[in-house]
Amino acid sequence: MPIVQISRIQHRRGKRSDLPQLAAGELGWVIDEQRLFIGNGTVSDGAPAVGNTEIVTSGSSAFSSALSYTYKGYLGDSTPVQTGASGDMTRTLQQRLDDFASVKQFDAKGDNSTNDTAAIQRAIDELYSDTDQDDTRSRRTLYFPAGVYKITAALTIPPFAHLVGEGPDKSVISNSGATNPVIVTEDDDGKTFPDSFTGTVPKQIFFEGLTFKTSVAYGGVSIDNANKVYFNNCKFQGSYATSSPADASTSKGVTVRSTLVNPVTKIYFNRCEFTKFARLVDISYDATTIRFNDCDFNTAYYGAILGETADGSTAGLTVGPRDVQFTGSSWSSISQQAIYVKSSSSTTGISTRNIISYGNFYGKDVGNNFEGVGSIREVPVLQFDNDECTSVMDFFERTDLRASDGSTELNAAAELQGIGIQTKPIKTYTMINNQSTAATIQEFPGLNGKGFSIRYKIQRNGDTRTGEMIISSDGTNIAYDDNSVDSDADIGVDLIAALDNKDSTAGNETIKFQYQTTNVSATATAIINYQVTILA
């Protein structure tokens, strides 16, 4: 576009009330409001209208309008929403953006190269531990956009922290420090374990959509002197390799530390993954009410090891963890026990207890030293060496697969060993008519000192028998008693228990639950529904 009459371009200045109609291309600077206008020109020259057009500056009303925010609702202007008591409530764009804080606003890069330790800690401290920490308005959500945030020292997490990422393997906090976990909790005076806490203890802390990763053989998270801590859809990833399986007590995905004054309580993990630590969960300190729900535990030497160093006397280690529940979770690729409740002779009867496994899936590669189903070095999937521990409705794939993979020559290791009760899911089985020799309904890993209670219902030829069969074995001998009642005539079924020494070694026998039937008629098969409770 050619420049026409460049000599006509002029500049005017004055107050807003004195602004005249400017000539085409003429600039007018409003001194009192710090605003700038330019003349439109005439309609005959091509201007859409005669008048002055404001050039946006920081002092213009258009700029202020662009930086304001009014909630409109999901339909926008088409259906007005009144946000104030007598009209709309307008907030600045700055106020709206400050509702959430991003670690990138504190100079974290998330590029897997820059050391983001100081930037992330600065963000956490400014939001939750600065001088106005008691003002709830300062406790904004701290957001981690997708990226890998490299750190070299443990991040300290104070009360009321709320850290949110975009999901596991998307927002990753990656530790390459020498001996520290990824995160530890602290009080609002900045005190960390084992220092005495002088301020508000860590509480009401929330994590969601984050991966806590470490490339060294140290911990993922250490929850110290804390209560009401929540992990939702998070991942805990270490560097453990199954190529040379061995235990390492420093490599633990989750641990807690308590003092007598501030024990850990009410810690919740929901839809989380724990992978590649020697010990996915390692809790010895006094702690209560810890929940793992719908989680995935994989690739480790131990799954969860509880109460190992509780000794009955050391402060914070007097009784160990209690009331720990694992529900609806999946366990796979674990060399030794999935859940191991330990107790030393000095703490028997007073230590770790009330550990519950309910509705979990234990894969075929749990408890067999990474050697597959049928390994001669199988160990119990669950080992409860203290009181009040229970397995309810758990599924153990390893036991069910033994008969189908050619490993029936070995006595299977127990699913549960130690002190505990195991209640298995209900099963059904069809018995053959006129089975004069004992046939096996189900086999159970024996080991020594097992007790079985099998409640059942049998239906045959229109009649029903209900009862309970009690089986006891010391690994060399077996005894059983079938207490039952028939609805009408004798249905012609005998239930039997027997030992089978599959690998010709003394003890550790396989227990067989068997039956025999009489020839009632050509079609008189019997159906048994039964549920097994095992006393470890």
- Choosing from 22, 41, 66, the residue where a domain stops is 66
Between 253 and 55, name the one with better pLDDT: 253
Query: Is 523 a domain residue?
Result: yes
Query: Is 291 a domain residue?
Result: no
Q: How many residues does the chain have?
A: 536
Half-sphere exposure of 215 (CA within 13 A, CB side): 13
Query: Is 107 a domain residue?
Result: no
**What is the overall mean pLDDT for the chain?**
87
Q: Match 């490599």 to its residue by tokens.
A: 251
Q: What is the pLDDT of residues 371-421, one digit of tens each?
A: 887 777 788 999 999 888 999 999 998 877 665 444 556 667 788 888 888
Query: Is 503 a domain residue?
Result: yes
- Please answer whether residues 510 and 473 qualify as being in contact, where contact means their C-beta atoms are separated by less than 8 angstroms: no
Burial 283-305 (b: 16+ CB within 10 A, else e): bbbbbbbbbbeebbbbbbbbbbb
The runs of H, that is alpha helices, within 323-402 are: 397-401
Q: What is the pLDDT of residue 65?
A: 63
- Please answer whether residues 483 and 468 qualify as being in contact, where contact means their C-beta atoms are separated by less than 8 angstroms: yes
* Counted domains in the chain: 2
- Choosing from 49, 66, 83, the residue where a domain stops is 66
- Please answer whether residues 187 and 159 qualify as being in contact, where contact means their C-beta atoms are separated by less than 8 angstroms: yes
Q: Say which CATH number the domain at 490 has.
A: 2.60.40.1680
For residue 444, is pLDDT > 80? yes
Q: What is the pLDDT of residues 130-183, one digit of tens each?
A: 756 677 777 889 999 999 999 999 999 999 999 999 999 999 999 998 788 999
Rounded to whole angstroms, the Cα distance separating 160 from 96 reads: 21
Q: What is the pLDDT of residue 357?
A: 97
Rounded to whole angstroms, the Cα distance separating 71 from 51 reads: 33
Query: Is 443 a domain residue?
Result: yes
- Choosing from 50, 66, 82, the residue where a domain stops is 66
| Rounded average pLDDT over 32-40 | 89
Rounded to whole angstroms, the Cα distance separating 21 from 502 reads: 106
Q: What is the pLDDT of residues 500-511, one digit of tens each?
A: 877 666 555 788
Range of the domain at 29: 6-66
Query: Is 238 a domain residue?
Result: no
Q: Match 């820059």 to its residue by tokens.
A: 114
pTM of the model: 0.83
Q: What is the pLDDT of residues 190-233, one digit of tens each?
A: 999 988 888 899 999 999 999 999 998 889 999 999 999 999 99
Query: Is 292 a domain residue?
Result: no
Q: Match 């998307």 to its residue by tokens.
A: 170
Q: What is the pLDDT of residue 9?
A: 54
Q: 205: which residues sit within 8 A by CB, 6+ positions away?
A: 157, 159, 160, 161, 162, 185, 226, 228, 229, 230
Instruction: Using pLDDT thresholds of 50, 70 and 90, give the confidence band for residue 61.
Output: low
Biggest CA-to-CA distance, the chain: 121
State the first-to-last Cα distance of the chain, in angstroms, to the nearest integer.
93
Query: Is 438 a domain residue?
Result: yes
